[in-house]
A and B are shown apart, each in its own frame.
Chain A
């Protein structure tokens, strides 16, 4: 056991920090073109697609290096890369399951954000029970005709392509009749309607597909393999942004300390109030445990160990922590925690969406983490069944299958 960073990782961090100091945009990126340009700059510096194999345009870096970049970007307040879903897990899924044609056609443009990707999985009636999805893709020989509705689609309005789960065989048990297709979003049969979230922003959408067309060559894997592919997709989504996330919390905590020195109650700064101190001490202790856990996961990833179902532990841990973190912060901040636009600088914090905001927006955003990518309840089922080996529950759909 040795938690010191290797000399080459320290050198890499220095190099990354210097690059960010020289290159992080000095103003907020307002337009899609500006964000695309920043993405491309990050890519060319070797900071996007880091874990992708070199043969597909990636950098063949280590998980540690990737985590260091995310960490330094958080520290520098750098805007995130734009095509996160594509690069984080749609691309890796194509690398694992795709044909050579698909890899050549899609991967490079994904890396450079020339084409932006979204995920078309959840449906209004298929959330945690994703396998009950109803969107149909009918085989028409050389193409599929897709009809149905998807929901909670991040980057929907700006996406050029989507990775789609659709039912191709309604005659078999639900997990077996699903296929995975790559769907062109810019076609008449696809309509994207932004959804307004509790934060007031619209970062996700509903997607309606009416006789939309997906080419045969865009079937990912074999027909009926969609559910299996979705499992690996979800697996890629977790794990590597570990350090950057904790650094964001730590930066927020520092702002909370400043606020607690400024704000007063009972004739003294909040920071001198024993009740506030107890809450803040607990908060920081929990934050540090998240950091230790992140280092543990990272050290395993760096040795080439697959996180497997343990990634459910990580996701459960940080998303539940994030809720407690902002809940406690808002208890301490009182009325300041309600503000939706910042006036003092400690009122401005990074939210887990990657967008800057106030304590109030960060608090609202923290409700999303325990729902997306498999709710906390689903993660606990996975931990129970696959880590602890507890018996599966008796479920009506399993009885039918």
Chain B
């Protein structure tokens, strides 16, 4: 048993950190907030060069064949810089294609994802904002050569830069997953600005969007389990990214507490501040354990990998919110300003807390599994 990173994993982490520290400075991120696309083509291409876009994809399709642990390492670093990029939704869609897609779908999309040519996203929420797959209301009606999709998908991350969307819909056979190209007629996008300026959510309306029968991912009518699996994987990735944001906030709070003086002493010498920082550290380290246990369990298909994903998401969601919030408290007034960078990570953690199933959703899944 070994809970520490292998030397390759350590190298990946170091490489990711130094790349992002150099290329995703807070100033760069702020420039992207103002950008209509909200992300950087140059950095996306660099991510492809670094092998991040094919990290967990099969080697036969241009990937590296690594797992969720490595992906979580990259995501933690992305969270640490609150990097504005369509990384995780693209990886999720690609993983779904790799796991359940046809050969044609894999050939069409996976090498293009790994090389950075295309981006993708997953449309998991319908109008009622219920993460249970059973709540999917978007319909897929049979046509002569395939299906016509109609419905409203909400808050699809980075849909405006995606070339293809993974869309669950209710077909005559039951819940089914479809690949829908963003350029398809009848598909309209409208952005939904959220508090994290480095995150883009987009409402996707489908009005009789026609797809051919080979756009189905996996078996018709059998998408409920794979959709839940996708949500769980999404949850582990989001937890990793929240962990990165939280660790950044902890580092900033500790550094500030060492230099900020009041009453003639550094504020970190006061127990009120020191104990807050110790509590934050505990939250961060427990979150690390939760994220990497869940990532490993997913890779290893451990008996408890489903519970572990829900544990990680619900625990880290709460912990990251606490840590990022307390970092603002430790900083005082400066932490509440737009110019100071803390709010960036605070908002990233908060945005991810509600994605891929919020805490209540996952705690219910946990309890169902053990009662």
Contacts and interface: CB of A to CB of B under 8 A. Distances in A.
B363 A281 contact: yes
Contact of A317 (B254, B258, B286, B311): B286
A313 B1 contact: no
Nearest to A285: B311
Interface string B279-305: 101100110111011001100101010
A1 B271 contact: no
Given A257-B370, A295-B293, A381-B271, A4 B281 contact: no
B269 interface: yes
B278 A299 contact: no
A186 interface: no
A295 B308 CA distance: 14
Contact of A289 (B268, B300, B311): B311
A380 B289 contact: no
Interface string A378-394: 01110111011111111
Interface residues of B, number: 52
B311 A3 contact: no
Contact of A394 (B269, B275, B278): B269
Interface string A285-327: 1101100110110111011000000000100110000000000
Contacts of A6: 1
Nearest to A385: B274
A271 interface: yes
Contacts, number: 158
A389 to B, nearest CB: 7
B277 A288 contact: no
Nearest to A261: B371
A391 B268 contact: yes
A284 interface: yes
Interface stretch (B2-10, B119-127, B338-346): B2-10
A317 B302 CA distance: 25
Interface string A4-31: 1110010000000000000000000000
A261 B370 CA distance: 13
Contacts of A313: 281-282, 285
Contact of B1 (A277, A288, A298): A298
A388 B266 CA distance: 14
Nearest to A280: B367
A384 B364 CA distance: 35
B281 A390 contact: no
Interface residues of A, number: 50
A303 B254 CA distance: 29
A222 interface: no
Given A271-B371, A390-B269, A390-B274, A1 B258 contact: no
A282 interface: yes
Contact of B363 (A282, A289, A388): A282
A292 B316 CA distance: 13
A1 B290 contact: no
A292 B293 contact: yes
Interface string B1-41: 11111100100000000000000000000000000000000
A383 B282 contact: yes
A2 interface: yes
B367 A5 contact: no
A302 B314 contact: no
Given A280-B371, A282-B363, A296 B3 contact: yes
Given A383-B281, A383-B282, A282 B314 contact: yes
Nearest to B290: A289
Contacts of A280: 367, 371
Contact of A3 (B268, B296, B370): B296
Contacts of A257: 370-371
Interface of B: 1-6, 9, 69, 254, 257-258, 265-266, 268-271, 273-275, 277-279, 281-282, 285-286, 288-290, 292-293, 296-297, 300, 302, 304, 307-308, 310-311, 314-315, 360, 362-367, 370-371
Interface of A: 1-6, 9, 64, 253, 257, 260-261, 271, 277-278, 280-282, 284-286, 288-289, 292-293, 295-296, 298-300, 302-303, 313, 316-317, 377, 379-381, 383-385, 387-394
